Structure 1
Amino acid sequence: MSKPNHNSKPTTGAISRPESTLPTPALSPSNSAGPSPAFSTVLQSPAVSEFELENPFDKLQQGQDIPECWGHRGASASFPENTKASFVEACKAGADGIETDIHITADNVLVLFHDPELHRTTNGEGLIHKQPWAGVLEHVRTKKAPHQPIPRFSEVLEILLQPENMNVKLNIDCKVENDPTKLFGLIKDVVEGYEGWQSRLAPRLILGIWHPKFLIPACTILPYLPRYAISMSLPQCRKYFFDKCHGFSIMYEALASSDGARFREECRSKGKSICAWTVNDREEMRQCGRWGVRSVISDKPDVWREIRKEIETDRVKALKPTIGTYILPFLNPKYYWFYHQRLAREETEYLEREGGTFDIHIPEISLGIARPSTI
């Protein structure tokens, strides 16, 4: 969930070919091979009568004592981030969900990758959106072993549809570099291409949104998916997203501040969910348990599993504050307000540079979650 590498210098040159013994997966027909019909239509909200309005996460929030753990780009502390191997490992480690990032290739294939360019984590070069999947990106491999290909969106959905993973959620971090109408149209095409998607997939998917320009396309094209604002800035969440999103995915350090305590209470009073990222430290995991947030997003779902067992065994003992609980925030500069506010300011500058100003007119949006009829 952390921000892109803004200092990288994207290129558009040809990619280098991997020296990998892993076979290239056979290409199968992609549900996202062409543009969605939504691209050429005026965005209009569907008639309410077409859906049963229900928030599929309400029941999960009621009486929930222990936060869930969503694997950050899978189990990225152990396997290359945003790969099938990482996603599978997160599920095996007992993660309640997977957090991943999404981009569109030049031939309209949805791929799961964090940066807009390839070079930080793979042997490829250049921008993803300027290169096709077929014949080019399908051959890219991760620098980190075991060397893995870039997965398509359909491949993580297939992991979720495995019998052992039917309770695993998917948090889709919608990168600001994407055109929201095109992105959500392609997501819709892929998701609705699966038999029984209404009950087997839709209730487990979440849209993570960084920029207000994604709000109207999200609630119009994918009205059956909850919207979580992703941010480092609590004032930004209040101003642009609070009455338009069902939850918030927030940098842990911001939540740990005095304003973070106020924000947590505001969300609690309004029934908003909170995810904290990226939480890898054991004491920070326990703090999330004390706060009662919806979920922790972590590179280490295996470590959270241990913490969860401690809480289930003896909640009071597991979450009892220690000396470290009070000392830790003073020992690391990342907890000081000027540090995370600087990061928030830099992130906002990047988001507005890539996606335009946040100050756009957004009409009133219903917070009802549309559940398509399964009949």
Structure 2
Amino acid sequence: MNGEPARGSGARRRPLVIAHRGASGVAPENTLLAFHLAVEMGADMIELDVRCSRDGHLVVCHDPDVARTTNGHGQVHELDLDDLRRLDAGYRYSLDGQHYLFRGLGLRIPTLDEVLASLPPHIELNLEVKSPPGDGRTAEGHRIAACLAARCRREPALVERLLVSSFDMAVLRELRQMVPELRTGLCTLPFDPLLRQLERVREAGLTALHPADAALGTDAASLIEQAHRLGITVNVWTVNSVERIAELAALGVDGIITDYPDRAVRTLGGSRESGTPSTWEQSPERGNNRPG
């Protein structure tokens, strides 16, 4: 998996740059435009949100209702794919709250299949299954998990490209039962006790922990080290400050989820695959924070 924890004292790869809903800081979230811009900016992975339409299609939309991001209204799971395709996914997006430059450009709510077909095969996807936080099995979460598992069975090679995350542990457990080889990660909220969440990840056999940046305290380095000892990767959301991006890289996180992948790429520098020393690795401020 990309973003595997460092081992030994040699050079390690920089964290994954994970584009949050694509390059959502500069383009309408969860659209093909935002995803393509993120790739152009150098993102290693795209984070996107998946839901299931009424007629069983996996579609990319963060909210349960389409009203915040489009010119329509209604719950995603109560709309057919044809209904969703008619909506303008750039309608509500504005950088300044006054100008809506993406209206009428033909941006649509994409299907997962459209995303997979349009992105280079080396770009991995972090699919967040949208379901309420907790351990309770929800009907919506179950439908999404079942649709996603069926999609993976139709194309087994797809599993290598996916990391599936959710705040809903029940959904993740269900996915692991249906597709055991699928990489899975638990998303946590700012007030969640991270050591307990890490233990839940270990107990469930998941591969990643996705903590909110606000939840990381002074013991963050110890938490990350403990996760790595367990073979669990740590991908932090949502980080847009270049200073904080550098700090988290120095702490040894495996992935940084950001609305501005270009900032992260510029801050981290270097080549992730080649092991070229990055800006943050060479900085004297890193001192003894560099993991051994």
Q: Report the TM-score when normalising by structure 1.
A: 0.63
1:156-198 CA-partner distances (Å, limit 9, x unpaired)? 11123xxxx222110011111563432222113334444xx42
Measured at CA, do residues 316 and 111 of structure 1 come closer, stay the same or move farther in structure 2, by a change above 3 Å? Answer: closer
**Could you list the runs of 5+ residues in structure 2 that have no partner in the other structure?**
94-100, 133-138, 271-275, 288-292
1:101-124 CA-partner distances (Å, limit 9, x unpaired)? 111111111111111011111111
Which structure would you say has the larger Rg?
1
Q: Kindly state the Cα deviation for residue 307 of structure 1 after the two structures are TM-superposed.
A: 1.1
Q: Kindly state the Cα deviation for residue 312 of structure 1 after the two structures are TM-superposed.
A: 3.3
> Which residue number in structure 1 is paired with residue 167 of structure 2?
210
Task: State which of 127, 131, 145 in structure 2 corresponds to 1:184.
Answer: 145
Q: Kindly state the Cα deviation for residue 314 of structure 1 after the two structures are TM-superposed.
A: 4.6
Task: State which of 203, 207, 213 in structure 2 corresponds to 1:246.
Answer: 207
Q: Kindly state the Cα deviation for residue 65 of structure 1 after the two structures are TM-superposed.
A: 3.2
**Distance (whole Å) between structure 2 residues aligned to residue 69 and residue 170 of structure 1:** 12
| Residues paired across the two proteins, number | 257
Measured at CA, do residues 317 and 241 of structure 1 come closer, stay the same or move farther in structure 2, by a change above 3 Å? Answer: closer
Deviates more, 1:294-303 or 1:146-155: 146-155
Q: Kindly state the Cα deviation for residue 266 of structure 1 after the two structures are TM-superposed.
A: 1.6
SS of 1:216's partner is: helix
**Distance (whole Å) between structure 1 residues aligned to residue 278 and residue 46 of structure 2:** 25
> Which residue number in structure 1 is paired with residue 34 of structure 2?
86
Q: Does 1:298 align with 2:288?
A: no
Q: Does 1:267 align with 2:227?
A: yes
> Which residue number in structure 2 is paired with residue 280 of structure 1?
240
SS of 1:242's partner is: helix
8 Å CA contact 2:4–2:233 kept in 1: the answer is no
> Which residue number in structure 2 is paired with residue 159 of structure 1?
118
SS of 1:188's partner is: helix
**Could you list the runs of 5+ residues in structure 1 that have no partner in the other structure?**
1-55, 323-375
Measured at CA, do residues 279 and 319 of structure 1 come closer, stay the same or move farther in structure 2, by a change above 3 Å? Answer: farther
SS of 1:320's partner is: helix
> Which residue number in structure 2 is paired with residue 146 of structure 1?
102
Q: Does 1:320 align with 2:280?
A: no
> Which residue number in structure 1 is paired with residue 273 of structure 2?
none
**Distance (whole Å) between structure 2 residues aligned to residue 82 and residue 149 of structure 1:** 9
Q: Over aligned residue pairs, what C-alpha RMSD do you find? A: 2.4
Q: Kindly state the Cα deviation for residue 61 of structure 1 after the two structures are TM-superposed.
A: 5.4
Q: Does 1:225 align with 2:182?
A: yes
8 Å CA contact 2:17–2:261 kept in 1: the answer is yes
**Distance (whole Å) between structure 1 residues aligned to residue 284 and residue 153 of structure 2:** 42
1:332-372 CA-partner distances (Å, limit 9, x unpaired)? xxxxxxxxxxxxxxxxxxxxxxxxxxxxxxxxxxxxxxxxx
Correspondence list, 1:1-375, <5 A: 56=1, 64-134=12-82, 136-142=83-89, 143=91, 144=93, 145-147=101-103, 148-160=107-119, 165-176=120-131, 179-194=140-155, 197-198=156-157, 201-232=158-189, 233=192, 234-238=194-198, 240-244=200-204, 245-255=206-216, 257-309=217-269, 312=277, 314-318=279-283, 320=285
**Distance (whole Å) between structure 2 residues aligned to residue 264 and residue 60 of structure 1:** 9
8 Å CA contact 2:123–2:161 kept in 1: the answer is yes
8 Å CA contact 1:184–1:222 kept in 2: the answer is no
**Distance (whole Å) between structure 1 residues aligned to residue 13 and residue 162 of structure 2:** 22
Letter in 2 for 1:116: P
Q: Report the TM-score when normalising by structure 2.
A: 0.80
**Distance (whole Å) between structure 1 residues aligned to residue 37 and residue 228 of structure 2:** 32
8 Å CA contact 1:80–1:86 kept in 2: the answer is yes
> Which residue number in structure 1 is paired with residue 97 of structure 2?
none
> Which residue number in structure 2 is paired with residue 355 of structure 1?
none
8 Å CA contact 2:250–2:281 kept in 1: the answer is no
SS of 2:277's partner is: helix
Q: Kindly state the Cα deviation for residue 261 of structure 1 after the two structures are TM-superposed.
A: 3.6
**Distance (whole Å) between structure 1 residues aligned to residue 222 and residue 4 of structure 2:** 25
8 Å CA contact 2:130–2:141 kept in 1: the answer is no
Could you tell me the percent identity over the aligned residues? 25
Letter in 1 for 2:166: I
